[in-house]
Amino acid sequence: MTLDRDQVLQAARAWAGQDPDDETRTEIELLLKDAEAGNEIALDELHERFDTRLEFGTAGLRGRIEAGSARMNRVLVSQAAAGLAAYLIERAAPGQTASVVIGYDGRKNSRVFATDTAEIMAGAGVRAILLPRLLPTPVLAFAVRHLDASAGVMVTASHNPPADNGYKVYLGDGDRGSQIVSPADADIAAHILRVAETGNVLELPRSTSYETAPEEVVDAYVAATAGPVRSFDSPLRVVYTAMHGVGWETFSRVIDAAGYPPVEPVVEQRDPDAAFPTVSFPNPEEPGALDLAFQAARDAHADLVIANDPDADRFSVAIPDTSAPAGFRQLTGNEVGWLLGWHAAQQAERDGVDGVLACSIVSSPALGEVAKAHGLRFAETLTGFKWVSRVPGLIFGYEEALGYLVNPGVVRDKDGISAALAFLDLASEAHTAGTDVAGLLGQFASTFGVYASGQLSIRVTDLSIIGRIMAALRDQPPAELGGVKVEQIDDLSDGFEQLPPTDALRFHLADGSRVMARPSGTEPKLKFYLDARSEQSEPEAAAHRIEALRADLQRIADEVIAR
């Protein structure tokens, strides 16, 4: 909705009148003053801030910290807290007191947003429990179940740019500490909108009678995470980066509890810092994000580089490789998923455990082959860990965007700390057997074939372009991609087999290759996920197929954009 001049000025005045934050209130007051004086740039900025509203969905809220309904700030957080409180009270069984546990990371305003949430929840009659200090997202996800809470809120923007923050919601009880899915997201959003439309957040009931969780919660997470791991007398030299986030303290405690020797932190990135001074984009997937870690690893002659993103729910690893420019090669999310899934399958087979290996539809199909070889079931889910974590009978799940769930009985969400420990266990076991991670990848290829994966992202400034490309792929689907016949197209928009509806297309090619096309859920881009397989006798064939697919898809996108 586009507001006219009077409407946007009125919206900005109303916002300024209820903003409890001096910084963001001053932002709006200055913009208002300039806009009222005829400054068109200021007026355009107000439209940017107020023509839309930051939408609450299955990923909660996430956006840039600034004033306005389309940004992340204390007004929006207060509305979200009050709306979520109303939802939890409505959902509570007769005689039951709704409860929520609240965590926060080291980003700007995380503690402020968490405290606002605790006070508003307590003021609404919800039992509110604030974690004792800034902690990783997996600790919050664990605490929802450990404290038997109705819900959890984690204040974090995960691996987003430094100026962002966010608000992630988990549900307890029958949801077992998983992130929200539909229809809960829509129900919560409706409650939030009612709060926004009917009141001033300064008038919301508040209470400081919320609880602070004891350190025992963190101790319990550490013990539960370290418990299942078989420690080895490992001589591996490991460099770790927390990416200026909150992972270091908890990760170092977990590996100590598991019996592993200390790892070497990247000192410049060890401690939480909301400014993220050494990285422009604190995401292990981004080019340059691991440069300091690679330097530390070269200096230490390390065998592994382990990285968590700022809230430590994602995990990445790099191994020595003399052919790589940095001397280390970062494994893809799929490669890590294959190895961890294979490791879990072998353990399940040794223990006589039945269960399911699962991954998202945009992850490599290789995990399905692992499941088949070890007599386990396999499931594919929609993109997002809120779906992976809900698979019945799950023993391991992953998505290619560096998300791994290795211990579903402890945490029902991706957990970069337990995944890092599991990978250290895997690498140490390999060393004991006389090989290394590169050797394990070679063994995987000889057992299951050579798999290659890739992506193509079409970033846009006009969101309508994404819809045009998807429409073109539906209305005039390609007969070939990368010179190979397209044998089958699955349109997932109406649901497919056991999957809920989602805006995605899956192309199956005659040589077994696969292409997934879907709009990103968090960024203005269309993403293509490419997968190919070849025999070990032709290890480069799969990589060449990926490049041919990428070139063809780029051409198709360019042709649509040029029309």
316: annotated active-site residue: no
Question: Do 529 and 455 form a contact (C-beta atoms < 8 A)?
Answer: yes
Active-site position among 158, 364, 389, 428? 158
In the structure, what pLDDT confidence band is assigned to residue 270 with cuts at 50, 70 and 90? very high
> Residue 537: is its pLDDT beyond 80?
no
pTM above 0.85, yes or no: yes
Task: Report the pLDDT value the prediction gives residue 522, as an integer from 0 to 100.
Answer: 67
Question: Do 418 and 406 form a contact (C-beta atoms < 8 A)?
Answer: yes
Containing 329, the helix (H) or strand (E) segment is strand 328-330
Classify 302 as helix, strand or coil.
Answer: coil
Classify 352 as helix, strand or coil.
Answer: coil
Question: Do 219 and 428 form a contact (C-beta atoms < 8 A)?
Answer: no
**32, two tokens:** 């208002």
Residue type, 371: A
Task: Report the pLDDT value the prediction gives residue 495, as an integer from 0 to 100.
Answer: 77
Fold (topology level) of 55-214: Alpha-D-Glucose-1,6-Bisphosphate; Chain A, domain 3 (3.40.120)
Task: List the Cα angle 479/484/486 in 5-degree steps.
Answer: 40
pLDDT per residue over 313-342, tens digit each? 999 999 999 999 999 999 999 999 999 999
Q: Which CATH class is domain 235-446?
A: alpha beta
Question: Do 410 and 142 form a contact (C-beta atoms < 8 A)?
Answer: yes
Question: Do 556 and 480 form a contact (C-beta atoms < 8 A)?
Answer: no
Written as one string, the DSSP assignment of 438-467 is HHHHHHHHHHH-EEEEEEEEEE-SSTHHHH
Task: Report the pLDDT value the prediction gives residue 279, as an integer from 0 to 100.
Answer: 94
Task: Report the pLDDT value the prediction gives residue 2, as an integer from 0 to 100.
Answer: 83
The two beta strands, 211-212 and 127-130, are parallel
Selection from 360, 356, 385, 381 nearest residue 371 by Cα:
356
Task: Report the pLDDT value the prediction gives residue 316, as an integer from 0 to 100.
Answer: 98
> Residue 181: is its pLDDT beyond 70?
yes
Three-state DSSP string of 33-51: HHHHCCCHHHHHHHHHHHC
Task: Report the pLDDT value the prediction gives residue 435, as an integer from 0 to 100.
Answer: 96
The two beta strands, 394-399 and 178-179, are unpaired
* CATH (one of 3.20.20.140, 3.30.70.270, 3.30.360.10, 3.30.310.50) for 450-562: 3.30.310.50
pLDDT per residue over 29-51, tens digit each? 999 999 999 999 999 999 999 99
Task: Report the pLDDT value the prediction gives residue 109, as an integer from 0 to 100.
Answer: 98
Residues 6+ apart with CB under 8 A from 530: 453, 454, 455, 456, 513, 514, 515, 546, 549, 550, 553
In the chain, DSSP finds a helix count (H) and a strand count (E) of 17, 22
Q: What are phi and psi of 151, to 5 degrees?
A: -160, 170
Task: Report the pLDDT value the prediction gives residue 494, as an integer from 0 to 100.
Answer: 82
CA–CA separation, 226 and 220 (whole Å): 10
Q: Residues 278-286: what's their mean pLDDT?
A: 92
Average pLDDT of the chain to the nearest whole number: 94
Task: List the Cα angle 181/182/188 in 5-degree steps.
Answer: 90
Q: Residues 4-31: what's their mean pLDDT?
A: 95
Q: Residues 497-526: what's their mean pLDDT?
A: 89
Question: Do 237 and 260 form a contact (C-beta atoms < 8 A)?
Answer: no
Query: What residues does each domain of the chain span?
Result: 1-52, 55-214, 235-446, 450-562
Written as one string, the DSSP assignment of 161-177 is -TTEEEEEEEE-GGGTT
Task: Report the pLDDT value the prediction gives residue 199, as an integer from 0 to 100.
Answer: 86
> Residue 213: is its pLDDT beyond 90?
yes
> Residue 24: is its pLDDT beyond 70?
yes
CA–CA separation, 406 and 395 (whole Å): 7
- Range of weakest confidence among 22-26, 104-108, 559-563: 559-563
pLDDT per residue over 389-421, tens digit each? 999 999 999 999 999 999 999 999 999 999 999
55-214 and 235-446: identical CATH topology = yes
